[in-house]
Amino acid sequence: MEIFGAVITLIGSIFLLLGGLGILRMPDVYNRMQTGTKATTLGSILFLIGISIGHYECGCLGKIAIIILFIIFTNPISSNTLARAAHFAGIKLTSRSVKDDLKEDDLENKGEEK
């Protein structure tokens, strides 16, 4: 049982490392935001579940569940707010991106108001 939890923890830590590597290597703010949120959320959830499986005899699964719930709720909200702020602050997309839906929606809304 301990080996099983340890292997899950190792998989989660590899996801955390890939999240850090994606933050370093991606070409754009929005790509960095995407890899820095999804990979680290999955990695930290796997890390916490693996540790709580490996040490199941101490009887503190409730606190681990509360921490996982906080991560699931707060991480997408902060990433969404940050992406919206970066878009409206005028930070450019990378030159290889092909589509920007939010900009087209803004242009359509301004056209309707006029």
Partner 1 sequence: MADLIYNIAAIIALAGIVLSFIRLIIGPTIADRAVALDGMTIISISLIVFIAYYSNRIIYLDVAIVYGLISFVGIVAIARYLERGI
Residues in contact with partner 1 by the rule CB under 8 A: 2-3, 5-7, 9-10, 12-14, 16-17, 19-21, 23-24, 29, 32-33, 36-37, 40-41, 43-44, 47-48, 50-51, 54-55, 58, 60, 63-64, 66-67, 70-71, 74-75, 77-79, 81-82, 84-86, 88-89, 91
**Nearest-approach distance from CB 18 to partner 1, in angstroms:** 8
d(CA 54, CA 100): 45
Q: Are 51 and 5 in contact (CB under 8 A)?
A: yes
∠ CA 68-74-75, rounded to 5°: 85
